Amino acid sequence: MKIFKKITFILCLTLFLSGINTSFISQAEPLVQNFGDELVIVIDPGHGGENLGTIENGFEEKTMTLVTAKAMYEELIQYDNVMVFMTRTDDKDLSLKERAEFAASVEADFLFSLHYNASENHTHFGSEIWIPYGPPFNAYGYQFGYRFMEEMEDMGLFLRGIKTRLGDKGDYYGVIRESVALSIPAVILEHCHVDEARDIPYCETEEEWKEFGKRDALAVAKYFGLSSQALGVDYSAESLTLPSANAATVVQSTIRDETSPDVCMIELLDTNYETGEALLTVTATDYDSPIIYYDYSLDGGETYCAPIAWPGVDLLKEQYSDTFTCSIQLPEGVQPEIILRAYNLADLYIESNSISILQEFWSKDTYGVTNKEADNSVIETEADMTNVVTDSSNQPKRHSAGTLTFTPAMSETTETEEEVSFFAFLKLCLIIAVLVFFVVLVSQSINYRRRRKRRRQRIKELENSRNHRR
Ligand SMILES: [Zn+2]
């Protein structure tokens, strides 16, 4: 009986686990790339010498990439049947062509060029990987890129995709173009953005640069299905469960999206004047690539908050939510005009319709302060759950408590301006009517009193005259 129970339990467990993996295994395919008995890997630390790379926030990319590359090297040489080379092991200048030629000279199976990112407006965050466009290297790059993205996601980083980019001469990025020209698959690993607050905690110390190197090595081991007696690991199963790719074609999702997202609409659901929160429904679609970020403006599009990760975005599954609800903190003392922008994988955006909120929000704290407090305190306007870019001219102005204007929090203002002015006009008419009625009433009563007084006087006069006659 006990044995029967055990067998049932094991059967159930097997069914349960196979159920979990079904969706993944049905898409999973083995490694497309073929390589010889001994694998040759070339690690290319980006930049070097005069070429500093990104130098934002005191970071020097050429130094970071060298530390990461050395850690990746130390890790990879522990795997069996692998030869590992580095294009540079010290701080020296190398052209992109020289890097590719070095890889060709050692008959490399793959070149991994390591980098750290920065964006023009310092607003982007997350990891991305650039791969060759042409088959069959596109398929190799895509399958490796998937393993790399998994490692970055596991570290907690946001994913910006496995992408290609074409220029006039073929692949846009030189190290990929030069390597492909010599029949070597090459990819650019952009680990994270050194100039963005959400990514900086991942790359502040040398230990963290080394951690990236270890992750890169792990992605390589899982892609090629390597094993290591020294480390006691075997990743041969991982190279059989890669995402579907074909050596003869270009993976659709890696093709650069040249157009902005197709639809972006916002709708005001609710406004809470107790807390100053506006609740919006956001709907957006891109027919070509996933939507990854959104940002919004509270001043009709003059300034925008830092981009926020699009809810439900999963680049490994190529999914994102079409519709979501978001809460926006309104600044005090202004009439916000909200516009939202949705960004796709190619960082192209579409602007939504705009929504004007005519009623100003004032927090209870501001309303309750005394004159003295109001003069001394500095207003803090956190216009967003992240950080909003507002210039000083857009800062809501605080009235001193004496002249503080407060609009009672009665109803949310979703009506259009015309409707509001119509109601104001009606109100004015009503007040005038009441006033006129009151004036008429008062004048009537005064007249009545005067008449009564005169009548009494006349009666008195008559009585007096009668008395005289007597
Ligand atoms: Zn770089």
pLDDT tens-digit readout, 349-370: 999 999 999 888 887 766 544 3
Asked if residue 324 and residue 181 are part of one domain, the reply reads no
Q: What is the mean pLDDT of residues 47-66?
A: 94
Q: What is the pLDDT of residues 143-200, one digit of tens each?
A: 999 999 999 999 999 999 999 999 999 999 999 999 999 999 999 999 999 999 999 9
The pLDDT, as a whole number, for residue 273 is 86
Q: What is the mean pLDDT of residues 224-235?
A: 97
The pLDDT, as a whole number, for residue 14 is 39
**pLDDT value at 20 more than 50:** no
Q: 62: CA distance to ligand 1 center in Å?
A: 8
Asked if residue 329 and residue 230 are part of one domain, the reply reads no
Q: What is the mean pLDDT of residues 16-45?
A: 72
Q: 381: CA distance to ligand 1 center in Å?
A: 36
CA separation for the pair 6, 391 (Å, rounded): 68
Residue at which a domain ends, from 371, 403, 435: 403
The pLDDT, as a whole number, for residue 367 is 53
Q: 332 or 208: which carries more pLDDT confidence?
A: 208
Q: 211: CA distance to ligand 1 center in Å?
A: 18
In a domain, 244, yes or no: yes
**pLDDT value at 65 more than 60:** yes
Q: What is the mean pLDDT of residues 108-123?
A: 96
Q: Is 158 left (phi over 0), alpha (psi -120 to 50) or beta?
A: beta
Asked if residue 272 and residue 233 are part of one domain, the reply reads no
Q: 214: CA distance to ligand 1 center in Å?
A: 19
| Residue-number span of the structural domain to which 145 is assigned | 23-254
In a domain, 443, yes or no: no
The pLDDT, as a whole number, for residue 434 is 80
The pLDDT, as a whole number, for residue 122 is 93
- Tokens encoding 229: 């007696």
Residue at which a domain ends, from 223, 254, 285: 254
Q: 116: CA distance to ligand 1 center in Å?
A: 5
Q: 252: CA distance to ligand 1 center in Å?
A: 26
The pLDDT, as a whole number, for residue 21 is 33
Q: What is the pLDDT of residues 429-469, one digit of tens each?
A: 788 888 888 777 878 887 878 877 877 787 777 777 766 65
The pLDDT, as a whole number, for residue 183 is 97
Asked if residue 221 and residue 100 are part of one domain, the reply reads yes
Is residue 257 within 8 Å of 346, Cβ to Cβ? yes
CA 278 to chain centre: 19
Asked if residue 168 and residue 60 are part of one domain, the reply reads yes
Q: 47: CA distance to ligand 1 center in Å?
A: 6
Q: What is the mean pLDDT of residues 83-90?
A: 98
- What is the percent of the chain with per-residue pLDDT over 90, rounded to a whole number? 66
Q: String of b and e for 18-35 (b: at least 16 CB within 10 Å)?
A: eeeeeeeeeeeeebbbee
Full-model pTM: 0.73
Asked if residue 249 and residue 272 are part of one domain, the reply reads no
- What is the percent of the chain with per-residue pLDDT over 70, rounded to a whole number? 80
Q: Which residues contact 296 (CB under 8 A, 6 or more apart)?
A: 304, 305, 328, 338, 339, 340, 341, 384
- pLDDT class of 410 with cuts at 50, 70, 90: very low
Q: 192: CA distance to ligand 1 center in Å?
A: 11
The pLDDT, as a whole number, for residue 467 is 63
Strands (E), 109-251: 110-117, 127-130, 159-163, 166-167, 170-171, 186-193, 227-228, 233-234, 242-243
State how far the alpha carbon of 115 is from the alpha carbons of 16, 48, 53, 118, 221, in Å.
41, 11, 8, 10, 19
Q: 120: CA distance to ligand 1 center in Å?
A: 14
What average pLDDT does the chain have? 83
Would you mind telling me the total number of residues written for the chain in this entry?
Answer: 470
Asked if residue 278 and residue 237 are part of one domain, the reply reads no
Q: 122: CA distance to ligand 1 center in Å?
A: 15
Q: 61: CA distance to ligand 1 center in Å?
A: 7
Q: 113: CA distance to ligand 1 center in Å?
A: 9
Q: Which of 356, 361, 357, 368 is nearest to 408 (CA)?
A: 361
The pLDDT, as a whole number, for residue 421 is 58
The domain that holds 317 is classified in CATH as 2.60.40.2470
Give phi and psi for 360, each to the nearest 5: -75, 150
- pLDDT class of 24 with cuts at 50, 70, 90: very low
Asked if residue 357 and residue 246 are part of one domain, the reply reads no
**pLDDT value at 107 more than 60:** yes
Asked if residue 338 and residue 216 are part of one domain, the reply reads no
The domain that holds 163 is classified in CATH as 3.40.630.40
